[in-house]
Structure 1
Amino acid sequence: MTTIGMIGIGMMGHGIASNLVKHGHALSVLAHAGNQPIDDLLQQGVKTFTTPQDLAAHSDVVILCVTGTPQVEAVLMGEDGVLKGLRPNTIVIDCSTAMPASTEKIAQAVAAQGGLFMDAPMTRTPKEAAEGRLNLLVGADAALFETCRPILACFAENIVHVGPVGSGHRMKLLHNYVSLGSVALLAEAAACAQVGGVNAQTFVDVLTMGGGWGAALERLRPFLLNHDNTGLRFTVANALKDLTYYNDMAQDMQAEHVVASAIQTTLKAAYDEGQGALLMPDLVDVFAQRSH
């Protein structure tokens, strides 16, 4: 099986790693303070390396699952980064959410070192990551996509080839704008309902029966009815990052983004109030408290 090196064993990355091991791949991970506990992976024979350079030097495929563009650029092009240890024909798969313009430059840098690059950002949640049921949005040439499909299928249920390098990240930003924007909109409406004395169950039931129903409502439902925020384990800080990336992308393309800018401003206000570590469902309380 393929020798894979992985950087970024967070809530999503841990599920990816465990499924790669489950499918028989030899896996190494980068030791990092930001990782989730990896004792279970180590017990299954997963190795660790202390630098991206060393990890890349021992891998046929390198998978990145880090926070965003600054982290991708750092682990790839830093002093002891992946590019320093990249072997000819090594494949780099970036599952992070990142800026497409940076992605295209990174792909060129990987190619200059004799490697191959694809962006394959994911949607869904840590639950689906653990179950091997992520959605992947792939930017790569057709031949590389087909080569990597069996590896991607180890941890993804739906794999969409969006187009050439950078297309996956463009589609991910479009997706997250719609999904996170919908959550922000519903959170504000739920807060307004709360202030106005509308019963939470009634609010959810009426939206469910009409045009307000959708994935965003289902993820907010546990919070609205039981104050359980685990239906969407996505922080305000991460949402602000994604909406900032989206607005930057739209501005670069000279595409309309008035609504997206308003959502970014909303998230930025919560972040500036010290609420960045809250999960997105908690915005309901943030908005309601501002009304008193």
Structure 2
Amino acid sequence: MNVGIIGVGLMGHGIARNVLSRGGFALHFLDHPGNQPTDDLVDLGGRACATVAEIAAASDVVILCVTGSPQVEAIVGAPDGLAASLRKGTIVVDCSTALPDSTLRMAEMVRKAGGDYLDAPMTRTAKHAHEGTLNLLVGGAAETLDAVRPVLASFTEQVEHVGPLGHGHRLKLLHNYVSVGFMTLLAEAAAQAADTGVDPQVFVDVLANGGGASAALDRLAPFIVSQDRDALPFFVSNALKDIDYYRDMSDAAGAQTTVADGVSAALSEAVDGGPADAYVPELVRLFRTRKDG
């Protein structure tokens, strides 16, 4: 299979490299200013393309790894986008974090053009992308997933078929709401602890030995203790986007969003008042700065 990828950012770069080096597939990638450096991809045989239409013309499988629904909709639905350009039988694998209702609309466009669609968001970090150990939550037809499993195997540790189309993105938003919600709460508590002179290592140890033990603590502890933000290279602005997608999804379902609204408000303040490139662990400092101000 010939593979195309659109979105060679923090996550997509690792995916692309493993498709080439571990999977041995031919790869075309969209040349874009938002990409990570791609010299290593070219050295491995990857080919840069100037347009989405070029990617579509060269690919049996197209992986999308972009920010969210607006970007996916522009890629798929533009006059010269994927739906207008793909080859019959092409499978689009959307690894972005997107709104389920938008996913269903994009899939319908691709199907009308003779292709098929899977939503396959990721639940791990850029480190796992580079190690080839991502986990995917895949929505769509089982036979479509089976057709692309060799490609997915090149950059994943676990691929879970979670239900029909749209359920991958629905579960990713549920997952990220819980994950980001935990980290936002923890960051606020860590900021309060710092403001009152609590030893940061003692704070982490008390939580780790009690009810606060969690993946959220594991990811934020390096920053709480030693201001190392790189344990979780995930922008606060993207965390806010995911929470607001969750709220949109919940509104559409008529579900309660009381806690989610509070998380969104806290992250919005951090985005408005902090640096644009702040990572989620830096919420510990941003929350404290706002309080002191």
Q: Distance in 2 between matches of 1:165 and 1:90?
A: 16
Q: TM-score normalised to the size of structure 1?
A: 0.98
Q: Is the 8 A contact 1:69 1:97 kept in 2?
A: yes
Letter in 2 for 1:7: I
The 5 Å alignment of 1:18-97 reads 18-22=17-21, 23-97=23-97
Q: Distance in 1 between matches of 2:49 and 2:93?
A: 18
| Alignment match, 1:146 | 146
Q: Is the 8 A contact 1:77 1:83 kept in 2?
A: yes
SS in 2 for 1:103: helix
The 5 Å alignment of 1:110-259 reads 110-259=110-259
Answer with 143-152 or 174-183: which moved more: 143-152
Q: Distance in 2 between matches of 1:230 and 1:20?
A: 25
Q: Distance in 2 between matches of 1:271 and 1:222?
A: 21
Q: Is the 8 A contact 1:6 1:28 kept in 2?
A: yes
Letter in 2 for 1:244: D
SS in 2 for 1:291: helix
Q: Is the 8 A contact 1:53 1:83 kept in 2?
A: no
Q: Is the 8 A contact 1:236 1:275 kept in 2?
A: no
SS in 2 for 1:184: helix
Per the TM alignment, residue 274 of structure 1 is displaced from its structure 2 partner at its CA by 4.2
Letter in 2 for 1:110: V
Q: Distance in 2 between matches of 1:107 and 1:214?
A: 36
| Alignment match, 2:267 | 267
Q: Distance in 2 between matches of 1:277 and 1:79?
A: 32
Q: Is 1:11 aligned with 2:15?
A: no
How well do the aligned residues superpose, as a CA RMSD in angstroms?
0.9
Per the TM alignment, residue 275 of structure 1 is displaced from its structure 2 partner at its CA by 3.7
SS in 1 for 2:96: coil
Per the TM alignment, residue 48 of structure 1 is displaced from its structure 2 partner at its CA by 1.3
Letter in 1 for 2:95: C
User: Matched residue pairs, number?
Assistant: 291
Q: Is the 8 A contact 1:135 1:156 kept in 2?
A: yes
Per the TM alignment, residue 291 of structure 1 is displaced from its structure 2 partner at its CA by 2.3
Q: Is the 8 A contact 2:82 2:110 kept in 1?
A: no
- 4+ long deviations beyond 2 Å: 274-277
Q: Distance in 2 between matches of 1:291 and 1:43?
A: 49
Per the TM alignment, residue 80 of structure 1 is displaced from its structure 2 partner at its CA by 1.9
Q: Distance in 1 between matches of 2:232 and 2:265?
A: 21
SS in 2 for 1:93: strand
Q: Is the 8 A contact 1:232 1:280 kept in 2?
A: yes
Q: TM-score normalised to the size of structure 2?
A: 0.97
Q: Structure 2: which 5+ runs fail to align? A: none
Q: Is the 8 A contact 1:270 1:276 kept in 2?
A: no
Letter in 1 for 2:131: E
Q: Distance in 2 between matches of 1:157 and 1:98?
A: 22
CA offsets 1:245-265 (integer angstroms, 9 cap, x no match)? 000001100111211111011
| Alignment match, 1:283 | 283
Q: Structure 1: which 5+ runs fail to align? A: none
Per the TM alignment, residue 290 of structure 1 is displaced from its structure 2 partner at its CA by 2.2
